[in-house]
Structure 1
Amino acid sequence: MNFWRAVLALAALYNLVIGGGNMAAAEPGSQMQITGLLVACFGIVYAICAYDIARFRPVLWAGVIGKAGVIAMLAPQVASGALPAATGWILTGDALFTLSFLLILLWGKGEGRA
């Protein structure tokens, strides 16, 4: 497995764990549970991208926009103390994956399937 496939596989696992955790911990039908479901679904997208980077590379733009948007919306709340400090660690992971996705999009080598 090459480096970028490993990064995308890790992003998939990261999203599946965080999304699944939110779904399990939240009230049924709550906004937190719905958000968890969407986060987990992005994990599936990253797994598909890891399988065939060359084919699915453009889909990573959704990840860049989604993760950057979440960071922009939640970072001020973490900084003000309105959200738990643990959320800051999640946002840090999101920032690292956003940077990785940009590197794959802009300078990737076009790796095919695993």
Structure 2
Amino acid sequence: MHDIGNGRGTRWRWFFYAAATYNLVIGGAGLANSAAAVNDRIVGLLVLCFGIVYAIVGRDPARFGPVLWAGIVGKAGIVALLLPDVFAGSAAPGTGAILSGDALFTIGFLVFLLRRRVTPA
């Protein structure tokens, strides 16, 4: 994939827009759930905010790509924190699917950042 190195490729832009949409939908749903505890709604708000960050990265991956390190830490951290509950069967329905999405985006962010660092501009 030629567009990995320079961070400007259309494929990467769409990937980051997909990550943004994913976070906006999941975060917005969590925030809008009035039956959820306030702490859960705060998590929804933060997930939604990361969606805004990914949309900004999508506009100019070469310039804003480094902020994806925060996304990697956040997504990998969520997976690490919630995966034991999924395996134990005590997580909310759908949590495993959401964590799968987080894991896939984490891998994509890593590929983008690591390939970008080793490829000459």
Length-normalised TM-score, structure 2 = 0.85
Deviation at 1:26, TM superposition (A): 3.5
> 1:55 maps to what in 2?
63
CA distance in 1, matches of 2:34, 2:18: 24
Tell me by how many angstroms 1:84 deviates.
2.6
**AA aligned opposite 1:9:** Y
Provide the aligned C-alpha RMSD in A: 1.9
Q: Which of 6, 11, 14 is matched with 1:6 structurally?
A: 14
Decide whether the 8 Å contact of 1:57 with 1:105 is kept in 2. Answer: yes
Gaps of 5+ in 2: 1-8
Number of paired residues?
111
Bigger Rg over Cα:
2
Cα drift, residue 27 of structure 1: 4.2
2:51 aligned residue:
43
Percent identical residues = 52
Distance 1:49 1:43 in 2: 10
| CA positional deviation for 1:14 | 0.3
Deviation at 1:2, TM superposition (A): 1.0
**Aligned equivalent of 1:23:** 31
1:54-75 C-alpha deviation (Å, 9 max, x unpaired): 1111100000000000000000
Contact preservation (8 Å) 1:23, 1:33: yes
Identify which of structures 1 and 2 has the higher relative contact order when contacts are C-alpha pairs closer than 8 Å and 6+ apart.
2
Structure 1 segments, 4+ long, off by >2 Å, are 26-29, 108-111
Q: Report the Cα distance in structure 2 between the residues aligned to 1:34 and 1:83, rounded to whole angstroms.
A: 18
Task: Find out whether 1:81 has 2:89 as its counterpart.
Answer: yes
